[in-house]
């Protein structure tokens, strides 16, 4: 009993000393563990590594107006992953008995990476489910034969989330370039008709309500006979915009109760992302898919090193994950 009391007192004392010592000269989102007001910053422990994302490389066939990862036909800051790179991490999952069921692939455009069909094949053959984020444009359609074969072989284990920002061509094309809407919709149609499990990722690019967007997508997809339930947020995900010029409040542990948001629902509670930086000898593991260039979210080369808690030290943590209420929604049953 006494020992317990001593322990509590000691913990409180350490906490108060740290609070007193917390520098108050930080700018917002500057210090990893402290807010600008000197309060402890919220952090999120890894509950279980359910989903492992791989960024296959930042090269993309198009340049969007507001791409959070700045993908383009020239940006190779994150270089192409190889099959061997991916294999190392699948081996670590199996060796350490991690609970990872789903392997996500994002880019850039994953199909720009020539190794991607082989990477998908190996992942599926080892019994994982996959989720591939794609714009379903030329990089994918030129590999139709390989993709169709994988769909036939692995069917429901392989999902595709197609980036169709809006149900109106002019809104999508303003963000992604001329004729992008038509090409992506054709690619989505092809995947659907080939028997793939498809879903759509849209964005709040206008002031329209979510209900109006879901109704618009229901009309569009219904006319094309594409079996996606637009009312289902796992089949039609509508993401808030990540604006670099936003000025959100910083997140402290008290925010969870005030906002009635559970840290368990945030992506970094159950996922990590592997990237390979240009010129690096080996890949590294990041806290999540959203912060590829901030070194504070680089957690080391292995899944074991990346299992430590993540401090919410970026404005995207606040705007996108906590206040925006978005999660990556990687699994259909989450």
- The CA distance from 96 to 78, in Å, is 27
112 lies in the binding site for ligand SF4 (CB under 6 A): no
268 lies in the binding site for ligand SF4 (CB under 6 A): yes
310 lies in the binding site for ligand SF4 (CB under 6 A): yes
Total Cβ atoms within 10 A of residue 328: 26
Closest C-alpha among 77, 90, 66, 41 to residue 279: 77
* 52, 31 Cβ separation under 8 angstroms: no
Q: Which is nearer to ligand SF4, 95 or 260 (CB)?
A: 260
Q: Which is nearer to ligand SF4, 69 or 287 (CB)?
A: 287
* 63, 284 Cβ separation under 8 angstroms: no
CB of 65 to ligand SF4, least distance (A): 21
Total Cβ atoms within 10 A of residue 142: 11
Q: Kindly identify the residues of this chain, within the stretch 278-307, that bind ligand SF4 according to CB under 6 A.
A: 287-288, 290-291, 297
* 167, 179 Cβ separation under 8 angstroms: no
| Residue whose token pair is 């990590």 | 272
CB of 319 to ligand SF4, least distance (A): 9
Question: Can you tell me whether residue 51 is helix, strand or coil?
Answer: strand
Q: Which is nearer to ligand SF4, 158 or 321 (CB)?
A: 321
CB of 18 to ligand SF4, least distance (A): 22
Q: Which is nearer to ligand SF4, 80 or 316 (CB)?
A: 316
CB of 189 to ligand SF4, least distance (A): 32
Sketch the per residue contact string, 217 through 256, with ligand SF4: x for CB under 6 A, - otherwise: ----------------------------------------
DSSP 121-144: HHHHHTT-EEEEEE--SHHHHTTH
Q: Which of 52, 137, 267, 303 binds ligand SF4 (CB under 6 A)?
A: 267
Element holding 222 (H helix, E strand): helix 210-224
- Indicate the DSSP class of residue 263: G
Total Cβ atoms within 10 A of residue 223: 8
Stretch that binds ligand SF4, among 25-33, 58-66, 103-111, 316-324 (CB under 6 A): 316-324
Closest C-alpha among 143, 178, 177 to residue 66: 177
* 124, 130 Cβ separation under 8 angstroms: yes
Q: Which is nearer to ligand SF4, 177 or 249 (CB)?
A: 249
**Count, residues near ligand SF4 per rule CB under 6 A:** 16
Q: Which of 59, 164, 317, 330 binds ligand SF4 (CB under 6 A)?
A: 317
CB of 133 to ligand SF4, least distance (A): 16
315 lies in the binding site for ligand SF4 (CB under 6 A): no
Q: Kindly identify the residues of this chain, within the stretch 45-84, that bind ligand SF4 according to CB under 6 A.
A: none
* 41, 35 Cβ separation under 8 angstroms: yes
CB of 291 to ligand SF4, least distance (A): 5
Q: Which is nearer to ligand SF4, 180 or 283 (CB)?
A: 283
* 329, 237 Cβ separation under 8 angstroms: yes
* 119, 83 Cβ separation under 8 angstroms: yes
Q: Kindly identify the residues of this chain, within the stretch 139-178, that bind ligand SF4 according to CB under 6 A.
A: none
314 lies in the binding site for ligand SF4 (CB under 6 A): yes
Strands, DSSP E only, in 109-232?
129-134, 158-163, 197-203
Please report, as ranges, the residues that interact with ligand SF4 according to CB under 6 A. 44, 266-268, 287-288, 290-291, 297, 310, 312, 314, 316-317, 320-321
């Amino acid at each position: 009993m006494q020992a317990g009391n001593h322990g509590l007192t000691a913990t409180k004392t350490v906490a108060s000393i740290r609070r007193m010592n917390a520098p108050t000269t930080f700018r917002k989102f500057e210090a990893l563990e402290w807010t600008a007001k000197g309060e402890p910053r919220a952090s999120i422990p890894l509950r279980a590594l359910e989903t492992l994302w791989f960024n296959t490389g930042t090269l993309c066939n198009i340049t969007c107006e507001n791409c959070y990862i700045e993908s383009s036909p020239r940006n190779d800051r994150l270089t192409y992953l190889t099959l061997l790179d991916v294999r190392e991490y699948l081996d670590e999952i199996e060796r350490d008995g991690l609970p990872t069921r789903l392997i996500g692939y994002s880019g850039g455009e994953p199909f720009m990476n020539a190794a991607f069909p082989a990477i998908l094949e190996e992942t599926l053959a080892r019994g994982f489910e996959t989720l591939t984020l794609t714009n379903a444009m030329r990089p994918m359609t030129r590999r139709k034969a390989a993709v169709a074969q994988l769909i036939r072989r692995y069917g429901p284990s392989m999902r595709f989330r197609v980036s169709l920002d809006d149900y109106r061509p002019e809104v999508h094309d303003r963000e992604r370039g001329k004729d992008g809407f038509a090409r992506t919709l054709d690619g989505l149609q092809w995947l659907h008709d080939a028997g793939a499990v498809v879903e759509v990722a849209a964005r709040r690019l206008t002031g329209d309500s979510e209900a109006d967007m879901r109704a618009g997508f229901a009309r569009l997809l219904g006319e094309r006979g594409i079996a996606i339930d637009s009312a289902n947020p796992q089949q039609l995900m509508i993401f808030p915009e990540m604006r670099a010029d936003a000025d959100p409040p910083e997140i402290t542990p008290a925010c969870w109760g005030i906002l009635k948001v559970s840290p368990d629902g945030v992506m970094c509670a159950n996922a990590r992302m592997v990237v390979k930086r240009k010129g690096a000898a080996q890949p590294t593991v990041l806290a999540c898919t959203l912060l590829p260039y901030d070194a504070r979210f680089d957690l080391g080369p292995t899944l074991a090193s990346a299992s430590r808690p993540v401090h919410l030290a970026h404005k995207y943590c606040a705007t996108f994950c906590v206040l925006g209420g978005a999660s990556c929604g990687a699994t259909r049953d989450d």
